[in-house]
């Protein structure tokens, strides 16, 4: 008589019986799968939710900044100026000067520079800006005449492009309800806003320079103890990148403006001072700003000289940009904050879309800080940049 063999139940890996109620290994699927949903799908879903969360946070932050721009903008200006002036203040402290004295001295010198520039602009340049505006409009008219026979650009297209650029970068937000106040009230409100913003920026800048390290340590102490070292390293690396970028872009702007001024003087184009200042300011919008300023200079040459001189001006702008991009910029800024042109253009586009000309100005420095933060995670444990420790 044959003996009945008991039905095989769940077993462990060594062949011994598994506890009653345990599910066979084959029914659970491959080890580590964790369920019927494939691991790849779960990974993609996790990243998708993380992206949605980050996007919502960015939208919420952008909305808050837009609502509080009267307060946020002066703080951003003070933050950037502190990064620019923190180096000289730190140098004075290392030479034995008290912190308050170094701060006051640096701010006083900075104020003197601003006052001197304002006097120079008022005496030598303000009267030329009307001529620059006239020259740009006249240059656009000349271009329209040159291209009229080719049917490439019409006056309507030029007008639409100029209006679009003005609406994108220079227009003020409309008041609630769509009603426009009278000119006197608008001027008074704008003047008060600028005055209050300047005072707030100066106040915040003073304490950023005086007690920046103490404020930073207080911020780091808010985090859990196990995260403080990482937060401190990330912040110092991002701060060092911001300092390097702002110092470098300021020197680059000075280089571009001086070189363009010399080129215009040699070619014989008028309004050299005004066009040099336009180039200096436009350089703070990387990649596109310098070429736009060069285009303005070419339009002036087209009106006051001829088409040949305008082409020579364009050639000079291209040469200056090649020297700046391949030699001067890497020398004064360094590869540590060197951003790919695609990243710069995307940052400018996002910044201009969210906050107009102000967003375009701050987008690339913020991108440099984000890139420095990302580099920390790639090289965790490396020492912070020397400029960040100063």
pTM above the 0.75 mark? Answer: no
pLDDT grade for 351, boundaries at 50, 70 and 90 = confident
Please write the tens of the pLDDT for every residue from 283-302. 888 778 888 888 888 888 88
Per cent of the chain over pLDDT 70 is 70
Please write the tens of the pLDDT for every residue from 249-263. 888 899 999 999 999
Q: Are 348 and 285 in contact (CB under 8 A)?
A: yes
Per cent of the chain over pLDDT 90 is 10
Range 356-362 average pLDDT: 79
Q: Where are the domains of the chain?
A: 42-167+198-208+215-389
d(C-alpha 238, C-alpha 235), whole Å: 5
pLDDT higher than 60, residue 21: no
Q: What is the pLDDT of residue 373?
A: 84
Provide the CA 245 distance to its chain's centre, in angstroms. 10
pLDDT grade for 205, boundaries at 50, 70 and 90 = very high
CA distances in angstroms from 120 to 115, 135, 293, listed in the order given = 9, 22, 20
- Exposure letters 232-268 (e unless 16+ CB within 10 A, then b): bbbbbbbbbbbbbbbbbbebbbebbbebbbebbeebe
Q: What is the pLDDT of residue 156?
A: 66
Q: Are 209 and 201 in contact (CB under 8 A)?
A: no
């Amino acid at each position: 008589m044959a003996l009945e063999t008991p039905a095989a139940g769940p077993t462990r890996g060594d062949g011994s019986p598994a506890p009653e109620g345990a599910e066979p290994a084959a029914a659970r699927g491959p080890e580590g799968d964790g369920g019927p949903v494939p691991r790849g799908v779960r990974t993609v879903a996790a990243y998708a939710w993380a992206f949605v969360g980050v996007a919502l946070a960015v939208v919420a932050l952008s909305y808050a900044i837009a609502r509080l721009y009267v307060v946020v903008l002066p703080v951003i200006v003070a933050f950037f100026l502190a990064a620019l002036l923190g180096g000289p203040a730190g140098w004075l402290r290392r030479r034995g000067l008290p912190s308050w004295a170094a701060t006051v001295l640096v701010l006083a010198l900075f104020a003197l520079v601003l006052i001197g520039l304002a006097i120079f602009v008022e005496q030598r340049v303000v009267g030329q800006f009307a001529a620059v505006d006239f020259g740009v409009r006249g240059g656009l008219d000349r271009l329209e005449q040159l291209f009229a026979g080719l049917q490439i650009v019409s006056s309507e297209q030029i007008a639409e492009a100029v209006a679009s650029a003005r609406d994108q970068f220079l227009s003020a937000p409309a008041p609630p309800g769509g009603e426009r106040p009278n000119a006197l009230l608008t001027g008074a409100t704008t003047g008060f806003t600028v005055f209050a913003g300047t005072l707030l920026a100066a106040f915040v800048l003073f304490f950023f320079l005086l007690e920046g390290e103490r404020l930073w340590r207080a911020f780091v102490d808010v985090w859990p103890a196990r995260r403080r070292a990482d937060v401190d390293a990330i912040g110092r690396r991002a701060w060092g990148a911001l300092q390097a970028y702002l110092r470098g872009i300021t020197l680059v702007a000075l280089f571009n403006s001086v070189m363009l001024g010399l080129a215009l003087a040699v070619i014989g184009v008028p309004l050299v001072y005004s066009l040099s200042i336009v180039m200096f300011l436009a350089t703070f919008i990387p990649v596109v700003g310098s070429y736009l300023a060069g285009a303005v200079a070419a339009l002036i040459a087209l009106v006051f000289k001829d088409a040949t001189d305008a082409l020579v001006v364009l050639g000079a702008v291209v040469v200056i940009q090649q020297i700046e991009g391949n030699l001067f910029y890497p020398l004064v800024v360094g590869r540590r904050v060197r951003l790919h042109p695609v990243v710069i253009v995307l940052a400018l586009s996002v910044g201009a879309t969210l906050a107009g000309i102000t967003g375009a100005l701050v987008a690339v420095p913020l991108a440099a800080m984000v890139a420095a933060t990302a580099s920390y995670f790639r090289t965790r444990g490396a020492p912070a940049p020397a400029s960040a420790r100063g």
